[in-house]
Structure 1
Amino acid sequence: MTISEISRRAVLGGLGIGATAGLVGCSNDNGSSQSTPTVSPGSSDQPIEGAKELTVYCWSNGPTIDDNFKKRVALFNEQYKGRFTAKMNFLPYDQYWQKAQLQYAAGKPFDIYYWDVQAYAHYKKNLVENVQPVINTTALADTTKFPSALFDPWRFDGKNLYAVPENIQSMSLFYNKDHFDAAGLKYPDETWSWDDVVTAAGKLKKTSGSKVTQWGLDIGTLGVWWGLQSLSWAAGSSWVDKALEPTKFQMTDPATIEAMKFTQDLMWDKHIAPRPEERNALNQAGANFSSGAISMMCDGTWAISGYQQMKAKWDMTAIPLWKGKRVAPYWLGGWVIPKKTAAKTAAETFATWSATTFQPQMAKNHDWIPISNEARSSKDMLAGMPAGFASAFKDIENAKIGDIYTANMQEIFNQVFGVNLDDLYFNRKTPEQVAQKIQEMATAKL
């Protein structure tokens, strides 16, 4: 697997991408035709529609997060004893989306399942429930308690939500404090620019003969399209004209080409970050940021739980400034409820309970980052977290959604972005050539 083939969720689950083509369903008609519930889902006076037994589907995210999901379901069952019973079903990431597709095709969709961009294709086929009426009966509708403006990318019809958001993720700069201490360098903070990172990385890189024994930097998520685009945003540009149903790509914008050249130069011109073959060799040897082989790396905030196992002291801060500005990507995690779910009330209850009542416990677990403003900034959330955690989310209100929503976007991710960015990172083509190729190929598929 090469650098640019790694998706955000593949990093999370350690697995590959699943296909979304060929979904069956009726034509798209996503207007809100449902009656608005008068009581919150799960209330004792609410009639139960569908089965009381609920199967909750998610892809496997590794032992720690999977175990926390199991504990969550156990807590839900305890709190709704005698009313609902839920069970977890984990699948590998690629099998997860194939299974979802097959279940929709058979007319027996999952009861409820965890969101990723593939689910947008399900929306386009008119297969998922408009959850706005349900959300309106819960605390999720309170704009003082939740960052409601960040939910807008999931308002696919411009007004209604088609998934229930429960957590939020972003991107940060992670660094090894022991390395900085040994070099006598100041720790990175939110005032740092990419120029500061480059300077420090040059001082942190160590060699023994011709062998690099410590890399000052790994390009990390700058090697994936959704990380690289953050530099374009900071420079006032973007890869597409809009995230939801883009009408054009803007890959040949000088700001995007400059961002590509900067990242390529980190590996080839400056060589303060390992090149792809060197990176692959490090991975095969188990040498990475966690092992202490790398001093700094941009990564998603979902990496926090894994880094907690590191022997070295480490911390995190906001992504560095580029052109004097910072625009971080963010992603929402949450639940999709099919229109034909066999456990409608149970599914709505589990999703909204996870997004409201469960939020303080989510903060204690440290498996996901709560969507609730209070839970996200609570003592339980900050306890045991890196000191720089708060700075990484300081500007979250100004962040931009890190996904692009079209029914065939996964095809563009894999067949256009991945292949051509490999040419960039392997130094086979210039940034101008790569940008032009992506522009042509992506536009044709769009």
Structure 2
Amino acid sequence: MATVGEAGPRVKAAGISAASTPRVTLAMRLRALDRPLTSYYLVLTASLLLVGLGLVMVLSASSVESYKNSGSVFSIVQKQAIWVCLGLPLMWITSRMSATMFRRLAFPAMFVSLAGLAAVLVPGVGHEVNGNRNWIYLGGPIQVQPSEAAKLALVLFGATVLARKQRLLDRWSHLMIPLVPMSVGVVFLVMLGGDLGTTVVLLAILLALLFFAGTPMRFFGFAGAVAGGLVLFLVYTEPYRMRRVTSFMDPFATYHDSGWQGAQSIFALSSGGLTGVGLGASREKWGYLPEAHTDFIYAIIGEELGLVGSLGVLALFAALVFAGFRIASRSRDMFVTLAAASITAWIAVQALVNIGAVLGVLPITGIPLPLVSYGGSALLPVMAALGILLSFARQEPGAQAALAARGPGPVRRGLAWLGFSRSPRT
């Protein structure tokens, strides 16, 4: 057995001294992130882990309510599993589509979204949930939220318009029109429905598109003032929303009224400690914390999995954000850069607003945690958007060669096993 400072037998046999044995340094680890498929695997891995964690936590957080309403603890998570089973193929399909196809879909997607947002405001068609008129019931248990799909439509529309005008963006008229008027129209329709959280995310997408298109920084001061004015308008025009904003500053001052949800969220996080009370052992899900499996699922994660689990979720979102901006920065196609950056901003801001509300540092706006919270209307557009990021990551420098060297993936191998052979794709 080699002593400390003495070369081991394998090193001696190879003729290498201990002094010359390479050490894995931080710089070497960082250089490993420069591999062609780094972005691809970061997006894929983080997305699947968040979706898987979401299913587990939806089961735990909704079990009491499910049993109360249906006599089965699985009724809510079964619906979420169906949405995941629809979302995974959708994510795979968009990951195989080209940037040209996304450009072609941009204008139809925007007009369909505008039609859906307008339909929500029609009496008898749109329905109000928790103070927001943003749902359309399609019959039975099926309901859709057009404002969620509008986020993806705005990404594709904005990236397409700005990329087409790439050489004209030094003129304000070409930079702003038609992107800003169309975006204002989308935001206005969402505001009429009273959805503050989605309004914030849509404004973040618009600002990301303009920022990465090279808009002068002085514009963002004006845009920030306008966006702040819109948010304040939404807050002051609805008493329940005003109570939400004021109660987050001190939820315990209105503990038995508007501060109840915020206070229970803090109780959940504080009781979790370092490692949590254990998966499935939440106390808050027993009717204390409203919306435990939707907007406040992060509080249940903190309670059951503790600080370790909470930070793990943050790390997965950080990986998604890093990969998304990496894809945007490495592409020479302006459409890809703008779409990747705005998708990343969408997911980052929505996660930030949701988690900030759970932690009590931001007002409660009623938006879900991407990929984790219950709800198909929110899940499917995000998974489609992540598929778009995967498509862009496949086109990064060296990625095609690396994918070809790796051989067919599990989906293609499964199709071949079933007898659906196809020519190899490079």
Q: Compute the TM-score of the two structures, normalised by the length of structure 2.
A: 0.27
Larger radius of gyration: 2
Q: Compute the TM-score of the two structures, normalised by the length of structure 1.
A: 0.26
